[in-house]
Amino acid sequence: MSEVMSNGVMSEVMSAEALMPSKKLSARGWMRANLFNRWYNAVLTLILALVIAYLGFRSIRYLFWTAEWEPVRANLTLFMIGSFPRDEQWRVVVQLLLLAAAFGVIWGSMIGASRDRAAQSGSPFSAEPGWVALRRWWGLVLLLGVLLLAAWGILPLVLAFGCIALIFMLRRIAMRLASKVRIYAWFGGYVLLIASWQIVSGTGGSAWFWAAGLLAFWGIRTVRKKDLTPRLPLTLVAIVGGGAVAWAIYTFILNGLINFSGVGWDNWSGFHLNLIAATISIIAAFPLGLILALGRRSSLPAIRWLCVTYIELIRGVPLIGLLFIGNSLLGFFIDNDPFIDFFLDTPLSQISRAIVIMSLFTAAYLAEVIRGGLEATPRGQTEAGQSVGLSPWQITSRIVMPQTLRASIPAIVGQFISLLKDSSLLSIIAVSEILRVRASVHSQGAFTTLGTAETLVFIAFAFWAFAFTWSRESQRLEKHLGVGER
């Protein structure tokens, strides 16, 4: 069915392309054709050009001359990491380096994997040069440039260029690995990610517990060299068992040898906290949203109604209301619960409660987004799976889900971007994320009235750099997955 449809659409696109002039116009010709082709268009062009020039002039004059950037410059560290203890600041630096390394390894492995796939199907492949990617991320690069300019010094420069060098070096190495060795690169990247988390949060070991569990899963999968989905229970047992062993080793042996004490959640603040809170919520919300979406379509009424109730309840309440509930009410009954303490590195602090609420909130919205994708996947796909004798689990995981997720990528990324921006709502419950830091900055004697607009501009710019880059990447992923698949 979709074959016929897309053919129809394709031919229309083709004919539209055929109508377009093939030769490129000169700049002068293009302007004549598009801006001054009628007298009223010429007038419009002139008026708009004046307006744009005026706005541009005012913006540039503001940004480079009249604006008071001193509150931002003097408090740059406060904006970025808030009241993170200054003598533990090295942890954030190491975290950045570890993240850069993980990013480089994973990125390189991804390129290597798609090169192998291309080689298998015999299609040509050329890896995108690193600088092209940097050009795509110009928002983030600009943010980095502004930060470096504001924190002018040798150390930040070395750190920034060290991270970039690390990314591209490891990317280059990982890219060239043979496909047999690549599995270790994936492991490595994963371990680096976990380590980057542990270096800040310190003792507790639960992060290592989950890491070990997932590694056990990958290990079994590699050893058995086959699809484990039909043996899900066995796999889960292996994960939990492997995890428990790793956890025991970590807690009873490693922890005694090395002191892993870190900085508790309550001391994380600034933009660092915004990014961490959003990332954790994304990671937690995604599987939950997936389960809720599937549960809502379940044939078992109990599960279906449970999921529907959850989704509609959460979607019916504003995030601020939920944050208030989590902040004020949850403290009365779930604090110091040993079971919860075990799964989180520290007792449920104000920040972790807020992160739990954000995850639960996003999961409900994600569930609806994914359900949209599920509805869009033709019923015939499931029937085809049934006709070749696949189990319901295999049909869902191998046939329906890939199509569903591909269809819902733009909406999912949109949800994540709004989650990042929503993390600024934490300021309302006095969690000192970047917007709250701004209130602190303007309570400092020198800045009570100075540069109040400039700090807002800076915060908006920081959010924009990340949101814009994510959105660009999602567009690229969309295009990438859509090509030649349907």
Nearer to another protein, 71 or 189 (CB): 71
What is the rounded CA–CA span in Å between residue 262 and residue 199? 7
Angle of helix 270-296 versus helix 401-422 axis, rounded to 10: 140
- Give the DSSP per-residue string, 414-442: HHHHHHHHHGGGGGGGT---HHHHHHHHT
Could you tell me the maximum CA-CA distance found in the chain, to the nearest angstrom?
A: 82
Binding to another protein by residue 75, rule CB under 8 A? Answer: yes
What is the rounded CA–CA span in Å between residue 149 and residue 163? 17
Long-range contacts of 148-154 (CB under 8 A, 24+ apart): 150/69, 150/72, 150/73, 150/76, 151/76, 151/77
- Only one of the segments 28-36, 134-142, 172-180, 427-435 lies at the binding site for another protein (rule: CB under 8 A); that segment is 427-435
Among 48, 49, 173, 446, binds another protein (CB under 8 A): 446
Among 91, 272, 296, 438, binds another protein (CB under 8 A): 438
Binding to another protein by residue 392, rule CB under 8 A? Answer: no
**Residue 191 token pair:** 């371990």
What is the rounded CA–CA span in Å between residue 82 and residue 435? 11
Binding to another protein by residue 241, rule CB under 8 A? Answer: yes
With b for 16 or more beta-carbon neighbours within 10 A and e for fewer, the 223-240 pattern comes to eeeeeeeeeeeebeebbe
Among 381, 397, 418, 452, binds another protein (CB under 8 A): 452
Q: Are 168 and 104 in contact (CB under 8 A)?
A: yes
Closest by CA position to 203, among listed 153, 260, 126, 149 = 260
Cβ count within 10 A of residue 392:
12
Binding to another protein by residue 428, rule CB under 8 A? Answer: yes
Residue whose tokens read 């509930």: 325
Binding to another protein by residue 5, rule CB under 8 A? Answer: no
Among 172, 221, 406, 442, binds another protein (CB under 8 A): 442
155 CB-near residues (< 8 Å, 6+ apart): none
- Give the DSSP per-residue string, 332-374: HHSTT-HHHHHHSSSS--HHHHHHHHHHHHHHHHHHHHHHHHH
Compose the 54-73 pattern: x for residues touching another protein by CB under 8 A, - for all others.
--------------------
Binding to another protein by residue 84, rule CB under 8 A? Answer: yes
Binding to another protein by residue 74, rule CB under 8 A? Answer: yes
Among 240, 283, 313, 317, binds another protein (CB under 8 A): 240
- Only one of the segments 79-87, 121-129, 150-158, 192-200 lies at the binding site for another protein (rule: CB under 8 A); that segment is 79-87
Among 45, 83, 381, 418, binds another protein (CB under 8 A): 83
Among 23, 24, 86, 180, binds another protein (CB under 8 A): 86
Q: Are 373 and 405 in contact (CB under 8 A)?
A: yes
Nearer to another protein, 86 or 180 (CB): 86
Among 236, 317, 376, 460, binds another protein (CB under 8 A): 236
Residues within window 329-348 making contact with another protein, judged by CB under 8 A: 331-332, 335, 338-339, 341-343
Residues within window 291-330 making contact with another protein, judged by CB under 8 A: 324, 327-328
Nearer to another protein, 5 or 237 (CB): 237
Compose the 244-283 pattern: x for residues touching another protein by CB under 8 A, - for all others.
x--x---x--------------x--x--------------
Binding to another protein by residue 30, rule CB under 8 A? Answer: no
Binding to another protein by residue 439, rule CB under 8 A? Answer: yes
Residue whose tokens read 């001391």: 267
Binding to another protein by residue 429, rule CB under 8 A? Answer: yes
CB of 210 to another protein, least distance (A): 12
Strands (E), 112-189: none
CB of 239 to another protein, least distance (A): 8
> CB burial class (10 A; 0-12, 13-18, 19+) of residue 350?
middle
CB of 167 to another protein, least distance (A): 29
Cα torsion 28, 29, 34, 36 to 10°: value is: 70
Binding site for another protein (CB under 8 A): 74-75, 77-78, 81-86, 232-234, 236-237, 240-241, 244, 247, 251, 266, 269, 324, 327-328, 331-332, 335, 338-339, 341-343, 350, 428-430, 432, 436-450, 452
